[in-house]
Amino acid sequence: MADLEKLKNAMADLEENLVNEILAEVMKAGGAQANDSLNALQKGMEIVGQRFEKGDYFIGDLIFSGDVMAKAVKIISPSLSKEKGKSAGKLVLCTVQGDVHDIGKNIVKIIMEASGFEVLDLGIDVPAETIAKTVKDNGVGIVAMSGVLTIAVESMKKTVDALTAAGIRGKVKVLIGGAPVDERSCKYVGADAWSLNPQVGAQTCLKWLSA
């Protein structure tokens, strides 16, 4: 059995080689610890965030941690639990206009797909009108938007306004996430929920579908 506490600390300390070694052990053993490993990685990322807030880590460290996390999730993604052969439904995912960061979005995509969603990934720097049109044309019930820059919040609000203008806001649930997102910005944007944790975000989307 892999040492998940060691994995958490390795992620927090940005020890990429050690993270990869531990995850290689997990996969070699059959991947039964994949979901628990993901939880450990996310706890490590929380510590990274705390260290950044304290001034112990800098922007470069945050970017590197995101890269380490993305590669780590890719290693264990084949063993992340999901109900084989059954789709939870369609979901539009993107990084909003004005923002070109995709590490967080890509991690969310992996988790959403592992949760059974058919993800329509529109990529980065996506205009509000494009998102609304994709939702309408494909009959999508959930939109998940990501952003790292502060200006992303305004783009998220424009997207919700575009959904309203298209006459489909009442049929669509909106989830937002990323560095500038919190409860206050969620209300400002007009989103239904916000999350900084991909797994929590996936759970929220699954609850919407089962409601």
Give tens-digit pLDDT for 2-29.
Answer: 899 999 999 999 999 999 999 999 999 9
Task: Give the Cα-Cα-Cα angle 76, 17, 62 (nearest 5 degrees).
Answer: 85
0.85 cut: is pTM over it? Answer: no
Angle between helices 34-54 and 4-12 (to 10 degrees): 30
Q: Confirm if 91 and 112 have CB atoms less than 8 A apart.
A: yes
Please name each of the domains of the chain with its CATH number.
4-79 (1.10.1240.10), 89-210 (3.40.50.280)
pLDDT of 84 strictly over 70: no
